[in-house]
């Protein structure tokens, strides 16, 4: 077998893709592009592996992540962002996450104490255990989870999901001490712990600071949600107000609805545009019947006849304040009264750190730490999560936990804490001319429960994608960061082919006359790679992906091992019927002699690849795209060019040009199964004829 001529001078495992905006936005820097792409190929279990490698508790994130990735997703500049969180949930459910067992071995003797079992604590425990440390989690409540358990309503995060993830920590050998409130850090060190991670969260509700706030019937959001989540059924009456504009206010309002309140209002002193709560959550609350009173805040509460008379004042928006939002200015004389049975204050939360910890406390009652090492003022004591940042997201807390585990490891192993090396990021904005050419496709959302069904109880609202919807949604991904690059500048003859063939008009000549392919605009179609006459361009390669040449060799060597000869080689779009194997069941009798080489896009298949397949022994080759599903209009055009080129060459060496075919599957008039049958039959006859001719000669 001839050695590959492909000019690969890099190791196959080398990852030179760039960091896409979604990955940058994710506090955990998960490889979103990678797992979305795997889902698009129907490789859901592999997608789950990628997800799990970047997130200790992906099932939790699949429910509660605020998905900042989607906010920066560049598909949003074209039409709508990719539904990344929903896709992750799909991978969790269809990839068999529940079956996964975590294992860990103790390699170090230094014990680590984790104080608090919120997402930061759980993540720190998980990674420390993975690193080989004995870990103990101390939790004041009766069950692990922190805010995940006592803050987030069950309709947003089913408790069995949390339980499964927590169970894995036990499997890994993490020691768990619930109902144990740590009062002294000195004691922990006396007990032999060599490092302590403080992650006690921010559970203390901030006070409104108005008259009557101590009245019965007034409760802070954190306390209210904790009571509900711990199984108490507090009576809220029929009319409830939640004060604030964050997720806690929304959670409290929607929980109140589920507890039987008939009329639930949110009082917020700015407008919807300024609400920090997740827009989707706001939308869902409105659907369920929550009313939001904007530019309104209470200034006095009086209790009359077991009800609350709440005096409110109206606001107007003034100049921008330090937070970048317009400052609400009370309108004099606009006071008015409203009556409620219950008023829930949810204007923010702060940590409450026992004084005996002797930790330096900073702004907003948070623990002060070194931003790189997460060390507090006490040696061996690290802190992270809401206790350090104030109320933040679950994913941020998980990231803090992971960082803490690494820093604690460095501390215990006496390593110098180095910042992590990251892939270079790509620019955020797509150019209008690029956007114009990208085929538009609407975002597919998983189905949700109807609002009237939701408020009946605490069932999760969002359902899971069906397989095809998930694949279709994932295919919308623009594959940011995987674009083409001129790898061999010295070979580049500046012929401008790349500039001419690019459907997105991405390559350009800079002022020095050098061709540039800006990675931030490239859509990774690969046409220029196959059209470069100097073979100077390659696609950036994310880990584990093979170049077509390598894939071709792989196919032949595995076929050889299993003792069959591939008579037909197909270069098939990895998303199409052939590439994903979706069609496999339909051509059983032909299967034995067909080998599929999945490719990123059939437009990347070069004439040399096809010739090489013949050289390696194939009797026939077909190129199968994904038809109308393709992100581009002109893919088939390029396939035809290359197929014709090889056909001419075959013809010149006396081989039948029909040995190579281009299938445009999913085009309505073409039945892929029938075409395949015809083709296999044809190739079979040609092969037979050749064998007979050979025998006659002998």
Partner 1 sequence: MIVAEQKPLEEIQRMIAPYEKVLILGCGTCMTVCGAGGEREVSFLHSALRLAQARTGSNTHQFSEYTVKRQCDPEFMALIADRAREVDAILSLGCGIGVQVAAEHFPDTPVLPGVNTSFMGTITELGVWDERCAACGDCRLAETAGICPITRCTKGILNGPCAGTKNGKCEANKDIDCAWILIYERLERLGQLEKMRRYYPPRNFRTIPRPRRLVNLVKADMEEGNG
Site mask for partner 1 (CB under 8 A), range 210-249, x = bound = ----------------------------------------
Judged by CB under 8 A, the residue of 216, 432, 513, 533 near partner 1 is: 533
Instruction: Determine if 654 is a binding residue for partner 1 (CB under 8 A).
Output: yes
Name the pairing type of β-strands 239-243 and 263-267: parallel
- For partner 1, the closer of residues 109 and 489 by Cβ is 489
Instruction: Determine if 563 is a binding residue for partner 1 (CB under 8 A).
Output: no
530 vs 37: CA distance, rounded Å: 22
Which segment (201-209, 459-467, 470-478, 496-504) binds partner 1 by CB under 8 A?
A: 496-504
State the nearest-atom distance from the C-beta of 500 to partner 1, in Å: 5
* Token representation of residue 507: 């390559």
480 vs 506: CA distance, rounded Å: 13
Query: DSSP secondary structure string, 192-225?
Result: TEEEEEE-----EEPP---BTTTSTTEEEHHHHH
657 vs 446: CA distance, rounded Å: 46
Query: DSSP secondary structure string, 20-41?
Result: -HHHHHSTT---HHHHHHHHHT
- Give the 3-state secondary structure of 439-506: CCCCCCCCCECCHHHHCCCCCCCECCCCHHHHHHHHHCCCCCCCCEEECCCCCCCCCCHHHHHCCCCC
- For partner 1, the closer of residues 55 and 497 by Cβ is 497
Instruction: Determine if 535 is a binding residue for partner 1 (CB under 8 A).
Output: yes
672 vs 577: CA distance, rounded Å: 9
* 173 in Cβ contact with 128 (< 8 Å): no
Q: Is 471 exposed, middle or buried (0-12, 13-18, 19+ CB in 10 A)?
A: buried
- Number of residues engaging partner 1 in binding (CB under 8 A): 30
- Quick one: which of 144, 140, 109 has its CA closest to 126? 144
State the nearest-atom distance from the C-beta of 122 to partner 1, in Å: 53
- For partner 1, the closer of residues 500 and 543 by Cβ is 500
Site mask for partner 1 (CB under 8 A), range 444-483, x = bound = ----------------------------------------
State the nearest-atom distance from the C-beta of 629 to partner 1, in Å: 25
- For partner 1, the closer of residues 427 and 686 by Cβ is 686
Instruction: Determine if 493 is a binding residue for partner 1 (CB under 8 A).
Output: yes
State the nearest-atom distance from the C-beta of 532 to partner 1, in Å: 7
- Quick one: which of 366, 367, 482 has its CA closest to 38? 482
Which segment (236-244, 290-298, 398-406, 530-538) binds partner 1 by CB under 8 A?
A: 530-538
Nearest-5° angle of CA 244, CA 248, CA 253?
75
Instruction: Determine if 357 is a binding residue for partner 1 (CB under 8 A).
Output: no
Q: What is the DSSP letter of 361?
A: B
- For partner 1, the closer of residues 60 and 683 by Cβ is 683
Judged by CB under 8 A, the residue of 166, 169, 392, 501 near partner 1 is: 501
State the nearest-atom distance from the C-beta of 641 to partner 1, in Å: 8
426 vs 435: CA distance, rounded Å: 16
- Quick one: which of 333, 346, 408 has its CA closest to 151? 346
Crossing angle of the two packed helices 84-94 and 32-40, in degrees rounded to 10: 60
The values of phi and psi at residue 663, to 5°, are: -95, 130
Instruction: Determine if 549 is a binding residue for partner 1 (CB under 8 A).
Output: no
- For partner 1, the closer of residues 248 and 613 by Cβ is 613
278 vs 580: CA distance, rounded Å: 35
507 vs 362: CA distance, rounded Å: 51
89 vs 66: CA distance, rounded Å: 13
Instruction: Determine if 77 is a binding residue for partner 1 (CB under 8 A).
Output: no
- For partner 1, the closer of residues 430 and 529 by Cβ is 529
- Burial string for 81-92 (b: 16+ CB within 10 Å, else e) reads bbbbbbbbbbbb
- For partner 1, the closer of residues 459 and 500 by Cβ is 500
Instruction: Determine if 534 is a binding residue for partner 1 (CB under 8 A).
Output: yes
Residues in Cβ contact with 64 at an 8 Å cutoff, skipping those fewer than 6 apart = 148, 152, 156, 157, 394
CA distance to 656, 693, 697, per residue, from 621 (Å) = 12, 22, 27
- For partner 1, the closer of residues 407 and 647 by Cβ is 647
Instruction: Determine if 655 is a binding residue for partner 1 (CB under 8 A).
Output: yes
- For partner 1, the closer of residues 356 and 615 by Cβ is 615
Judged by CB under 8 A, the residue of 532, 538, 600, 623 near partner 1 is: 532
The values of phi and psi at residue 184, to 5°, are: -145, 130
Judged by CB under 8 A, the residue of 352, 500, 543, 554 near partner 1 is: 500
Judged by CB under 8 A, the residue of 536, 567, 603, 639 near partner 1 is: 536
- Quick one: which of 272, 265, 285, 271 has its CA closest to 314? 271
- For partner 1, the closer of residues 108 and 488 by Cβ is 488
* Token representation of residue 466: 């069906």
Which segment (1-9, 49-57, 292-300, 365-373) binds partner 1 by CB under 8 A?
A: 1-9
Instruction: Determine if 485 is a binding residue for partner 1 (CB under 8 A).
Output: no
- For partner 1, the closer of residues 207 and 500 by Cβ is 500
Q: For 285, what's the count of Cα atoms within 13 Å in the CB-facing half-sphere?
A: 28
Instruction: Determine if 565 is a binding residue for partner 1 (CB under 8 A).
Output: no
Instruction: Determine if 5 is a binding residue for partner 1 (CB under 8 A).
Output: yes
242 vs 223: CA distance, rounded Å: 13
Instruction: Determine if 660 is a binding residue for partner 1 (CB under 8 A).
Output: no
Instruction: Determine if 7 is a binding residue for partner 1 (CB under 8 A).
Output: yes
Measured from the Cβ of residue 451, the count of other Cβ atoms closer than 10 Å reads 15
Which segment (110-118, 275-283, 422-430, 534-542) binds partner 1 by CB under 8 A?
A: 534-542
Which segment (29-37, 116-124, 345-353, 526-534) binds partner 1 by CB under 8 A?
A: 526-534
Instruction: Determine if 2 is a binding residue for partner 1 (CB under 8 A).
Output: yes
State the nearest-atom distance from the C-beta of 475 to partner 1, in Å: 28
CA distance to 35, 398, 488, 562, per residue, from 54 (Å) = 11, 11, 33, 34
State the nearest-atom distance from the C-beta of 513 to partner 1, in Å: 14
- For partner 1, the closer of residues 98 and 648 by Cβ is 648
- For partner 1, the closer of residues 493 and 673 by Cβ is 493
Judged by CB under 8 A, the residue of 49, 649, 686, 687 near partner 1 is: 649
State the nearest-atom distance from the C-beta of 646 to partner 1, in Å: 9
Instruction: Determine if 495 is a binding residue for partner 1 (CB under 8 A).
Output: yes
State the nearest-atom distance from the C-beta of 690 to partner 1, in Å: 9
Instruction: Determine if 491 is a binding residue for partner 1 (CB under 8 A).
Output: yes
299 vs 212: CA distance, rounded Å: 9
State the nearest-atom distance from the C-beta of 6 to partner 1, in Å: 8
Site for partner 1 in 598-627 (CB under 8 A): 606-608, 611-612, 614-615
* 117 in Cβ contact with 60 (< 8 Å): no
Q: Which residues bind partner 1 (CB under 8 A)?
A: 2, 5, 7, 490-491, 493-497, 500-501, 532-536, 606-608, 611-612, 614-615, 645, 649, 652-655
């Amino acid at each position: 077998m001839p050695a590959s001529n492909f000019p690969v001078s890099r190791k196959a495992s080398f990852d030179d893709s760039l960091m896409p905006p979604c990955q940058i936005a994710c506090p955990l820097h998960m490889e979103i592009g990678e797992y979305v792409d795997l889902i698009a190929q129907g490789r859901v279990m592999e997608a789950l592996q990628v997800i799990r490698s970047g997130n200790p508790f992906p099932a939790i994130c699949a429910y509660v992540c605020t998905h900042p990735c989607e906010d920066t997703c560049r598909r949003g500049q074209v039409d709508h962002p990719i539904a990344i969180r929903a896709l992750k949930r799909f991978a969790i459910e269809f990839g068999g996450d529940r079956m996964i067992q975590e294992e860990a071995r103790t390699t170090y003797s230094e014990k680590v104490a984790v104080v608090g079992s919120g997402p930061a604590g759980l993540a720190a425990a998980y990674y420390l255990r993975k690193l080989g440390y004995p870990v103990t989690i101390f939790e004041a409540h009766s069950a692990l989870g922190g805010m995940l358990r006592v803050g987030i309503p069950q309709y947003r995060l089913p408790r069995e999901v949390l339980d499964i993830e927590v169970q894995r920590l036990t499997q890994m050998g993490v020691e768990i001490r619930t109902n144990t409130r740590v009062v002294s850090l000195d004691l922990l060190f006396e007990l032999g712990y060599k490092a302590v991670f403080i992650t006690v969260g921010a559970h203390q509700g901030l006070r409104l600071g108005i008259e009557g706030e101590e009245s019965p019937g007034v409760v802070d959001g954190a306390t209210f949600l904790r009571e509900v989540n711990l199984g108490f059924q507090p009576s809220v009456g029929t009319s409830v107000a939640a004060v604030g504009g964050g997720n806690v206010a929304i959670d409290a309002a929607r929980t109140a609805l589920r507890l039987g309140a008939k009329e639930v209002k949110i009082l917020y002193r700015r407008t919807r545009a300024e609400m920090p709560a997740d827009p989707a959550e706001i939308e869902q609350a409105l659907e369920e019947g929550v009313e939001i009173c904007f530019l309104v805040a209470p200034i006095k509460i009086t209790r009359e006849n077991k009800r609350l008379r709440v005096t409110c004042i109206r606001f107007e928006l003034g100049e921008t304040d330090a937070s970048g939002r317009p400052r609400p200015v009370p309108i004099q004389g606009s006071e008015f009264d409203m009556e409620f049975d219950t008023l829930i204050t949810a204007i923010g939360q702060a940590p409450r750190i026992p004084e005996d910890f002797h930790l330096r406390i900073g702004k907003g009652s948070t623990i002060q730490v070194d931003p790189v090492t997460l060390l507090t003022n006490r040696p061996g004591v690290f802190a992270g999560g809401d206790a350090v940042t104030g109320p933040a997201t679950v994913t941020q807390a998980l990231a803090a936990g992971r960082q803490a585990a690494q820093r604690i490891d460095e501390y215990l192993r006496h390593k110098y804490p180095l910042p992590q090396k990251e892939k270079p990021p790509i620019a955020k904005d797509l150019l209008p001319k690029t956007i114009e050419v990208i085929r538009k496709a609407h975002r597919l959302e998983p189905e949700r429960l109807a609002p009237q069904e939701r408020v009946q109880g605490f069932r999760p609202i969002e359902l899971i994608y069906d397989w095809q919807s998930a694949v279709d949604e994932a295919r919308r991904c623009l594959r940011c960061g995987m674009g083409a690059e001129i790898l061999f500048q010295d070979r580049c003859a500046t012929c401008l082919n790349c500039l001419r063939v690019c459907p997105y008009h991405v390559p350009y000549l800079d002022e020095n006359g050098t061709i540039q392919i800006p990675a931030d605009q490239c859509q990774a179609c690969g046409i220029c790679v196959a059209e470069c006459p100097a073979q100077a361009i390659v696609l950036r390669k994310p880990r584990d992906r093979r170049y077509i040449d390598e894939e071709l060799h792989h196919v032949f060597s595995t076929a050889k091992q299993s003792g069959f000869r591939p008579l037909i080689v197909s270069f098939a779009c990895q998303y199409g019927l052939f590439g994903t194997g979706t069609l496999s069941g339909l051509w059983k009798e032909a299967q034995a002699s067909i080998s599929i080489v999945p490719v990123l896009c059939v437009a990347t298949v070069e004439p040399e690849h096809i010739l090489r397949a013949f050289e390696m022994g194939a009797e026939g080759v077909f190129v199968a795209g994904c038809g109308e599903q393709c992100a581009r209009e002109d893919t088939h055009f390029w396939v035809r060019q290359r197929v014709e080129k090889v056909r001419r060459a075959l013809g010149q060496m006396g081989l039948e040009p029909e040995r190579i075919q281009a299938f445009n599957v999913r085009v309505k008039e073409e039945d892929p199964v029938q075409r395949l049958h015809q083709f296999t039959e044809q190739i079979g006859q040609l092969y037979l004829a050749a064998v007979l001719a050979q025998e006659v000669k002998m």
